[in-house]
Amino acid sequence: MVKRQTLKNREFGYELSGVEHKLIFESDEMGFVRFDGRSRRLFYLDPSPFLSTPKRDIYIIADESVPIPKMNDLIKVTSFETERVVKGTFDNLVNIDVRYVKAWIKIDPNKLLHRKVMDQEEYINFFKHPFNRADENIDSISQCLAICSVSSNAIGINEKGGIDSGIIAKKSGWNSFLSLQKVIPREFKSVKSPYFYSSSAVEKKINPLGSMEVNLSILMPKETFVHLPIVFDAEMRPKSDYSADVSFEIPFVRAHLLDTLMFQPEITQKAEKCLTDRIYEMTETFTSSHNFVYKQDLGDAAPKLGSSIARMNFSNEVSVANVREGFDIWMDMFVHASKFKKSNLSSGEIFRLPKEAAQLYLQLEDTFGIDVIISMKDVETISLLSPFELSNAIAALRNAGAIYSPRLDFIKILSFKL
C-alpha cells in the first residue's frame, strides 16, 4: 500500500477523506473556496482545504450584489452561465469552464459525510498500538492522543486554536509517541501551515503567525502551560511488533483526521454554564494538589478539550456532554501525572500573576463583578494598559483560570484569589 509523504499528490480512494470523496465524485458546484491569486472574485472549489480540485472549473463573481465568500468556506454555488476558455502553453493547452456565479450558500460538512473512513473507536484504536493491550491505562492514553491529534478550533478571543500537551514519559514512552506522530501530514509540521503540529523534547517558544491552530507536544514540560498531560505509564511493546501495523493504517487514519479538521464547533449556551463549573472544579483540583509535575492552563483547557471531542464526533457544536467528557479525561490524566514523579513546584510559583494582570483583574472585578460576561471593547475602555500589555495580562489570567472566553470578543470573569 502506498503511503504518501504529502497531501497534494494523493490519488487512490483509500487516501481520501469522506468529504473529499463526496465532493470529487458525487457533487458538482460545491467545495472549499480557494481564490485565484489575489483576486477575491475568481476562485476554485476544492474537495478540501488540503487537496486541489481535479476538475477544470473556475468560478467568477461578476455581479457586485453577490457577496464574496471567505477562503476555505464550504459552499454550494448556483451558476447561470458557463464560458469555455483555453489556458496553458502552446504544448499544454487545456479547456477551462468559467462559471458565472448567481448565488451561493454555506454547507454543513456533516451533510457530506455519508462515507466515513472509520468510526471513532477505530480511530482511537490506532493510538493503542505501542501499548500492551492488557494494560489498564491503555484506553485513557489512546483517547488523549486521539483528542490532541484532531486539535481544537480557536474559541472566543483565543488567538489560536490547537491543544498543547505535556508528554509525561520516560525515553521509551517518548519514542513510542513519536512513532504515532507519523500520522500527522508533513505539511502540518511546517510553520507556514494553517494547522501546525510540533513535537519536541526541548521547550522552545513557537508561535507561527499564519497558523490558525497550533499544537505543541512537549516532553516533561517545566515552563509551558499545557492543556492536557498525557502520561505514558503503561507497558510498552517493542516497536518492531507494531510499526508495520502503524504504517499500514496511516492513510486511513490520516483521511479521518482531515475530516475532523473541517469542523469548527461553537460552544452552546447550555455548555457555557457547564464550562464555568468545570473550570472552577479544575482550578480547585489542580491548586489543591501537593505535587505539581507540570504547569496547567486552567482557563483554556476545558473549552479546547470540549471542542476537540466535538470534532471527533463530527459536530458543529460543543455540547454539555463534550465538556463533561473532556473534564473527566483531564481528571484521569492529572491523577496519573501526580503519581508519575515528585516535583518541588508550588501553586504560588505557577500562578504568580504579573503586576499588570493582577491590576487588570481587580479593575474588572470592581467594575463588573464575578461570573459576568463582558465584551473586550469594555475591557479596553477601562484598561490603563497598552495593547501589548493588555494581551499579555489577558493570557496570564486565562492560564490561571481567572477568566475564560466563551465567544468571540467576550470574556467571563471568574472568582479568583490574588
Same-domain status, 147 and 286: yes
DSSP, collapsed to helix, strand or coil, labels residue 5 as: coil
Other beta carbons within 10 angstroms of residue 397's beta carbon come to: 25
Same-domain status, 233 and 288: yes
Asked whether residue 331 is domain-assigned, the answer is yes
Burial of 365 (0-12, 13-18, 19+ CB in 10 A): middle
> What's the Cα-to-Cα distance from 5 to each of 14, 16, 109, 141, 188, rounded to whole Å?
15, 14, 26, 27, 11
Asked whether residue 57 is domain-assigned, the answer is yes
Residue with cell 503511503: 3
DSSP, collapsed to helix, strand or coil, labels residue 353 as: coil
Same-domain status, 159 and 269: yes
Strand ranges inside 245-298, DSSP E: 266-267, 295-296
Same-domain status, 35 and 136: no
Q: Looking at the predicted structure, is the pLDDT value of residue 405 above 60?
A: yes
Query: Which domain-ending residue is among 85, 112, 139?
Result: 112
Same-domain status, 127 and 240: yes
pLDDT of residue 247: 93
- 381-391 per-position pLDDT tens digit: 999 899 999 99
Asked whether residue 232 is domain-assigned, the answer is yes
- With bands split at pLDDT 50, 70 and 90, how would you rate the model's confidence at 85? confident
CATH code, domain with 409: 1.10.10
Same-domain status, 153 and 222: yes
- 40-66 per-position pLDDT tens digit: 999 999 999 999 998 999 999 999 999
Same-domain status, 263 and 393: no
Which residue range is the domain that position 397 belongs to?
353-413
Same-domain status, 342 and 370: no
Same-domain status, 63 and 165: no
Same-domain status, 127 and 273: yes
Asked whether residue 48 is domain-assigned, the answer is yes
DSSP, collapsed to helix, strand or coil, labels residue 221 as: coil
Average pLDDT over residues 214-232: 95
pLDDT of residue 116: 80
pLDDT of residue 84: 83
Same-domain status, 252 and 287: yes
Query: Structural domain tally of the chain?
Result: 3
Same-domain status, 302 and 394: no
Phi, psi of 34 (to 5 degrees): -135, 115
CATH code, domain with 178: 3.40.50.300
Query: Which domain-ending residue is among 309, 329, 347?
Result: 347
Are the CB atoms for 75 and 69 separated by under 8 Å?
yes
Which residues share a beta bridge with 104? 77
Kindly report which listed range (81-90, 198-207, 293-302) carries the lowest average pLDDT score: 81-90
Query: Which domain-ending residue is among 330, 347, 364?
Result: 347
Asked whether residue 68 is domain-assigned, the answer is yes
d(CA 397, CA 391): 10
Nearest alpha carbon to residue 264 among 108, 393, 142: 108
Asked whether residue 177 is domain-assigned, the answer is yes
- Eight-state DSSP code of residue 214: E
Asked whether residue 392 is domain-assigned, the answer is yes
